[in-house]
Structure 1
Amino acid sequence: MSELRFDDVVVRYGGVTAVDHVSLTVPEGEVVGLVGESGSGKSTLARAAVGLVPFEGRITLGDAPVPVRGRHRPVRMVFQDPHSSLDPRMSVGESIAEAIPPGSSRAARRAEVARLLELVHLEPGRGGARPAELSGGQRQRVALARALAGRPAVVVADEITSALDVSIQGAVLNLVRDLQRELGLSMLFISHNLAVVRYVATRVAVMRHGRIVEQGPTAQVLADPEHDYTRELLAAVPGGHRAAVPAPSRSDR
């Protein structure tokens, strides 16, 4: 089993507790949605998982602590802003190839870059483009391909659609669903939008003021929420919590 577990995790910034004794599990092969308002601690928990902030408690993959050093890290993060997460001086193909574990030939790496681009629904010929030549949705697809290039056990996706135009958010969400089906991808999917989480996640955890206030199967939590805060988030979804996320075509040129 390669489930990602947070056990009694605490993150403090000076005298402020951003994550307050959080326990959460991302089962192997599932997408777990972590939802809450801005400042609730969601992104801080994500950064703890990949070693970007110090923490107390335990974060494990399987039975071992998550490695956060070295090139082969089994938990990879995709950030909110695809423009700032890619080196503008490198081509798309170079950025993806840089994340591939060492040991393969140059030809094999080129073939793997092409495979990864196709996997995220981009033409392999896009490998020679610079990030500035791509749309926001295409850059986020490249960021996903770069994360997958490291062959991670778990991907942490931090608000990956919130910086995109509404017209292309659905295409990226469809991609997440496709990757989960095709690869059995394990993902911690962070969002402030319950409608988005409902669309991609099998389980959901609701975070407020650094704590998990409710968690469980997505359908169960959204149909019969137990916590007042969860009900507030549901009430804030335009059109009600049953509203569907738009599902445009794969292309987001």
Structure 2
Amino acid sequence: MSELAIEDLVVRYGHGAHAHVAVDGVSLTVPPGEIVGLVGESGSGKSTIARAVVGLAPVTSGRILIDGVELSRGRRSGKPRRSDTGRSPRSRPVQMVFQDPQSSLDPRMSIGSSIAEALPPDVPRARRRAEIERLLELVHLDPQRADARPGELSGGQRQRVAIARALASRPDVIVADEITSALDVSVQGAVLNLVRELQRELGLSMLFISHNLAVVRYVASSVAVMRDGRIVEHGDTAQILESPEHPYTRELLAAVPEPLRSAS
């Protein structure tokens, strides 16, 4: 269990008059072992934060830290990150689960091989098959399907594989970016139940990103609402969704169907 801290993060694309500020001075903390929701409409900047945290978007200014260790420092210097914790230099302290599992998995590789790629190098070759099977069981997939290709699986099963792959490297924090939005409604609930189960069993620290307040309410203990690159409201999930203070939060909540709005 580790803490993710985002401090005064700015992500700017372009220069001068053509510059676009996608994230404007955002500060947000994911406490150890908790799921924090980040919600907002498309273009609000929430996915840019996710990409910045895992090193896929440039950090113009600000800091991103895991347990007080600045990730960007290791990226700029080219030095191994988190080496002071005893982790392998190739380990990644933050892993991301993307929206579309089909595009995040190589269709030419078996799902077992995709998971194996993410395993730390200190896992002996003789134990790799057993570790792959353990991870598949953890996400409620039959270990005997390790040799299957992604195309042989349903969308929900592929997303489970993507979650197993993210867990394979033993990350300190998981960033989940709209992981249910590409799934059928009938499958979304099962994946959300899995997220809650993994959080309880593994003590996961997770930044859970979604445009859907009902989804965030189901999994997150606290929520930050984002608009135009800034956080406009942040606090306990139940409190914010029951008594939102910012007009934008009220707009998002009004868009949620009443049965989902009142679900716990």
TM-score range, shorter chain: over 0.9
Aligned to 1:51: 55
Which one of 9, 23, 37 corresponds to residue 27 of structure 2? 23
Q: Is the 8 A contact 1:26 1:32 kept in 2?
A: yes
Aligned to 2:105: 86
Q: Is the 8 A contact 1:234 1:241 kept in 2?
A: no
Aligned to 1:203: 222
Say which SS state the counterpart of residue 54 (structure 1) adopts. Answer: coil
- Alpha-carbon displacement from aligned partner over 1:198-253 (angstroms, at most 9, x marks no partner): 000001000000000000111111111110100111100012663438xxxxxxxx
**CA deviation after TM superposition for structure 1 residue 182, in Å:** 0.5
**CA deviation after TM superposition for structure 1 residue 12, in Å:** 0.9
**CA deviation after TM superposition for structure 1 residue 104, in Å:** 2.3
Which one of 36, 39, 44 corresponds to residue 32 of structure 1? 36
Which blocks of at least 5 consecutive residues in structure 2 are unaligned? 81-88
Which one of 170, 173, 182 corresponds to residue 163 of structure 1? 182
Aligned to 1:250: none
Q: Is the 8 A contact 1:177 1:200 kept in 2?
A: yes
Which blocks of at least 5 consecutive residues in structure 1 are unaligned? 246-253
Change (3 A) 1:241 1:127: closer
Aligned to 1:96: 115
Name the CA distance, whole Å, in 1 between partners of 2:234 and 2:260.
Answer: 16
The aligned length equals 245
Q: How does 1:220-231 map to 2 (within 5 A)?
A: 220-231=239-250
Q: How does 1:172-251 map to 2 (within 5 A)?
A: 172-239=191-258, 242-244=261-263
Root-mean-square deviation over aligned CA pairs: 1.3
Aligned to 1:7: 7
Matched AA of 2:258: G
Q: Which moved more, 1:106-115 or 1:68-77?
A: 68-77
Say which SS state the counterpart of residue 179 (structure 1) adopts. Answer: helix
- Alpha-carbon displacement from aligned partner over 1:56-84 (angstroms, at most 9, x marks no partner): 11000111112557631100000000000
What TM-score, normalized by structure 2, do the two folds share? Answer: 0.90
Q: Which moved more, 1:133-142 or 1:66-75?
A: 66-75
Name the CA distance, whole Å, in 2 between partners of 1:2 and 1:159.
Answer: 22
Matched AA of 1:233: L
Name the CA distance, whole Å, in 1 between partners of 2:25 and 2:167.
Answer: 30
Matched AA of 2:176: A
Which structure features the higher share of helix residues? 2
Q: Is the 8 A contact 1:9 1:57 kept in 2?
A: yes
User: Does 1:135 find its partner at 2:154?
Assistant: yes
Aligned to 1:65: 70
Matched AA of 2:23: V
Q: Is the 8 A contact 2:253 2:261 kept in 1?
A: no
Name the CA distance, whole Å, in 2 between partners of 1:92 and 1:243.
Answer: 38
Q: Which moved more, 1:3-12 or 1:99-108?
A: 99-108
Change (3 A) 1:124 1:241: closer
Name the CA distance, whole Å, in 1 between partners of 2:118 and 2:168.
Answer: 6
Name the CA distance, whole Å, in 1 between partners of 2:197 and 2:164.
Answer: 13
Q: Is the 8 A contact 1:222 1:241 kept in 2?
A: no
Matched AA of 2:114: S
Aligned to 2:86: none
Provide runs of 4+ in structure 1 moved above 4 Å: 67-70
